[in-house]
Amino acid sequence: QQQVKQSPQSLIVQKGGISIINCAYENTAFDYFPWYQQFPGKGPALLIAIRPDVSEKKEGRFTISFNKSAKQFSLHIMDSQPGDSATYFCAASSQDSSYKLIFGSGTRLLVRP
């Protein structure tokens, strides 16, 4: 059972455009939602994270939007750059299993120059 569904599987965006990756979850006990970024040949690294008590969190060009009622959250990359080309994973965890992150299936982003 896939507890965190991520889309799209791949995404191509022109430089300067907005990249949007969406995730939906099923478990209403989830209370922590991070995004990880993975460059080729490297392990994933934490990019940005949000808790459900806020609807949006922004760090530079990266923004998480969170919709608790719809059980959805998304990553927006503004002014996308070729250096943003990577695989992005959303994830979720709950307080009662805070060590265990459930990851989405990943989105491969390519930003064309």
Binding site for another protein (CB under 8 A): 6, 9, 32, 34, 36, 41-46, 49, 89, 93, 95, 98-101, 103-106
Interior/surface letters 91-110, b for 16+ CB within 10 angstroms, e for the rest: bbbeeeeeeebbbbebbebe
The nearer residue to another protein, 25 or 89, going by C-beta atoms, is: 89
Distance in angstroms between the alpha carbons of the first and the last residue of the chain: 38
Give the separation between CA 12 and CA 16, rounded to whole angstroms: 12
Q: How far is the CB of 93 from another protein (least distance, A)?
A: 7
In angstroms, give the least distance from the CB of 92 to another protein.
11
Min CB(79)–another protein separation in Å = 25
Instruction: Tell the smallest beta-carbon distance from residue 90 to another protein (Å).
Output: 9
- Tell me whether residue 20 or residue 49 sits nearer to another protein (CB atom): 49
Nearer to another protein, 31 or 72 (CB): 31
> Do residues 55 and 65 lie in contact, with contact meaning Cβ atoms separated by under 8 Å?
yes
The residue to which tokens 């979850």 are assigned: 25
